[in-house]
Amino acid sequence: MARRLLPLLLACLAAAAAGWQGRVVAIADGDTLTVLRGRQQVKVRLYGIDCPELGQPFGRRARQRAAELAFGHTVAVRPESRDRYGRTVAWVVLPGGRTLNEILVAEGLAWHYRRYAPRAWQLAELEQQARAARRGLWQDPNPVPPWNWRRPGRATISRE
């Protein structure tokens, strides 16, 4: 058992070491924020989630909640990748250890973005719980995923 856990522990420590800290100085929308890293402003897209756009139901609420939780705070940024816009795609760990990504999904203010995070099982589980409890955007009997809302003409129901 210990032989199996050691590589996992080392991988987790390496991943944690790859992250960095900074102060959140702007919230563009629920899933995009700007973090001050030293003197550099870094645009961060929250990994594995997609919040409603500002013009959608719950879009402004998602932005407001992200601001309540993160704005002005020093957070840990655990990068996963970069997106096509050059943003750092990352987990954002709030003071206290919870991730902003997970909180927004748990409160029904974001979808688990399966297309880009198919192995983020914790996000899938949190979305399922929010759906079952009809929290946030799940109060709507037929919420439109933001990836569909951004592309008029596509079907309104998707499990991406």
pLDDT in tens, 69-78: 999 999 999 9
The answer to the question of residue 159 being in a domain is no
The answer to the question of residue 6 being in a domain is no
Chain segment 128-152, per-residue pLDDT in tens: 999 999 999 999 999 999 999 988 6
Check if 102 is active-site: no
- Which residues on neighbouring strands pair with residue 93, listed in sequence order? 76, 99
Q: Considering the chain, what percentage of its residues have pLDDT values greater than 90? A: 82
Structural domains in the chain (count): 1
**What residue has token string 């997970």?**
102
**CATH number of the domain enclosing 127:** 2.40.50.90
The catalytic residue among 45, 63, 65, 78 is 45
156 pLDDT higher than 90? no
- Backbone Cα Rg of the chain: 16
The answer to the question of residue 134 being in a domain is yes
Q: Residue 130 in 3-state DSSP?
A: helix
Chain segment 16-49, per-residue pLDDT in tens: 447 999 999 999 999 999 999 999 999 999 999 9
Give the contacts of 39 (CB within 8 A, at least 6 positions apart).
Answer: none
The answer to the question of residue 28 being in a domain is yes
The answer to the question of residue 25 being in a domain is yes
Give the contacts of 13 (CB within 8 A, at least 6 positions apart).
Answer: none
The answer to the question of residue 10 being in a domain is no
The catalytic residue among 53, 80, 102, 127 is 53
Task: Give the predicted TM-score (pTM) of the model.
Answer: 0.84
For residues 53 and 56, give the distance between their C-alpha atoms in angstroms, rounded to a whole number.
5
For residues 121 and 112, the answer to whether their CB atoms sit within 8 Å is no
The answer to the question of residue 9 being in a domain is no
The answer to the question of residue 2 being in a domain is no
**Residue 120 belongs to domain spanning:** 18-149
Check if 127 is active-site: no
The structure tokens listed for 122 are 């914790």
